[in-house]
A and B are shown apart, each in its own frame.
Chain A
Amino acid sequence: MIQGNIQIGGINILTSRLIAAAVSVVAIFLVYLFLMKTWPGRAIRAASDDLDAASLAGVNYRQTYALSFGLGTALTALAGGLLMTFQQVDPTMGLRFGLLSWCVLALAGLGSVPGLLISGVIVGGAEALAMSVWDPRSRLLAVYLIFILVLWLRPRGLFGRK
């Protein structure tokens, strides 16, 4: 079902990529709603801002940390499942994609979910541009250079709260 292409105005797009993008956007939207509108989400944000104050306000930080860790792991697994429909996968890819996701996160800044979407587009765009304009091998180079530059020049990211 997810194999094959879709033509949109002369541009070929892999169906699997399209589905992956759609699922990702939905997942990001759900996470955003969870963090902003529900009590556990607020607890997570409070604990990240000021652990002592959050504890005083009745946040069980052990539970909250466990929840956010589990949620993060589940989302990563989701991303991995989507990724392997159109990319090569091997047991040692964890570090590579871990770094990549940190790049996106550093660019967006900690704690900004909408910023993540924009920085994801920037990183992906830089990858594609470097590949087509400069050198096919320079894909990761562009991403990591952006990452290092952002860390040097704007350590809290483009949209970070802290």
Chain B
Amino acid sequence: MNTKQRTIKMLPLLVGLVVALIVPLIVGKNQYNMVLVTTVLFYGVLATAWNIIGGMAGQLDLAAWAYLGLGAFTSGTLLLRWNVTPWLGMILGGLVAAGFAALVGYPLFRFGVKEVWYALSSAALVEVLRVAFLMWDEVGGPVERYLPFHRASWYHMRFASYVPYYYIVLGLLLIALFVNYRISRSKLGYYLLALGESEDAAEVIGVDARACKLKALMIYAFIVGATGAVYACLFGFIHPSFFNTAQSTEVAILGIIGGMGIVYGPLLAAIILVSGREFMRANLGSSLESLYLAIYAVVLIVIALFRPQGIAPLFRKAYDWLLSRVVGERYAA
């Protein structure tokens, strides 16, 4: 691959990055729009992280918000009780989530829980944590715990505007994408892809499926846990309702719709679907409440029926076509 081809391949990434960086300059005046773009990126992070365990390793994990909630509670409690900065809480929250993932994942993979049973037990995990945190009065409990309010404090990660949060989530997204990319180019990534296709075949060749899956689960949990800490600061409270089964399922849906195992697929799906959903919610919310959910569901079903490999290949084709029109066939990615 020569330099020109590499430039062409990196072009969409650079354009996307530039657009992402200047978005707050365009819509930054309106705080509601800032929340929306932050939410979209936020789902992008979750879906991108999910791609490691769900897309590459092929484990249908429905526990995204379990790890997110753990991260949020860890960093939120540290901030409330001991005034520990969420920047540190982010890492600790990620570690707690990863540790919990190891604790749960080890027996799950040890006893060979697979496919639909894995999906269901991970979904049950979210509910278990929700009830457990509702009952744990020292940390959780049924009342929201509000984080201290500051107009602009980097130490407390609390701002009156949503613009800083946008950049923080953007940073997380870049980290998640980078980790994803590195894994997809590493030995672990190829192992995961192999065992995602067929676990028995991969084990015969000598892949330690259990260890690989556990690693993937822990990396995923760490990223989601760290995101959870930002989530808590963004909305300013922690509550057991963070452990949300429906939202966890949605993360998996975004990952599947985007294209299993394609690094940028889940992000594409999050950008298109989540922004479309929020747009519909804002525009239909006053006249036909909840209709947006029905439309959203129909779109998902249509994509699942006619594009089971996801929407990322579609974009790739479109980009290739565009390239061949602009610079000629030779440099098409």
Contacts and interface: CB of A to CB of B under 8 A. Distances in A.
Contact of A103 (B113, B124, B125): B124
A152 B131 contact: no
B121 A141 contact: no
Given A95-B246, A95-B249, A145 B128 contact: yes
A145 B124 CA distance: 8
B135 interface: yes
A107 B128 CA distance: 17
Interface residues of A, number: 21
| Chain B interface bracket (under 10, 10 to 19, 20 to 34, 35 or more) | 20 to 34
Nearest to B130: A140
Interface stretch (B104-112, B210-218, B321-329): B104-112
A151 to B, nearest CB: 5
Interface string B122-148: 011101100110110000000000000
Nearest to B142: A137
Contacts of B134: 137
B115 to A, nearest CB: 11
Given A148-B124, A155-B111, A106 B132 contact: no
A135 interface: yes
A137 B137 CA distance: 12
A141 B128 CA distance: 5
A140 B131 contact: yes
A99 B127 contact: yes
B125 A99 contact: no
B200 to A, nearest CB: 16
B111 A152 contact: yes
B129 to A, nearest CB: 10
A106 B128 contact: no
Shortest Cβ-Cβ A-B pairs, 6 listed: A141-B131, A144-B124, A144-B128, A152-B111, A151-B121, A152-B107
Interface of A: 92, 95-96, 99, 102-103, 106, 135, 137-141, 144-145, 147-148, 151-153, 155
14 contacts: A92-B246, A99-B127, A106-B120, A137-B134, A137-B135, A138-B131, A140-B131, A147-B121, A148-B124, A148-B128, A151-B117, A153-B111, A155-B112, A155-B113
Interface of B: 107-108, 111-113, 117, 120-121, 123-125, 127-128, 131-132, 134-135, 245-246, 249
Given A95-B245, A148-B128, 8 more contacts: A106-B117, A137-B135, A139-B131, A148-B121, A151-B120, A155-B111, A155-B112, A155-B113
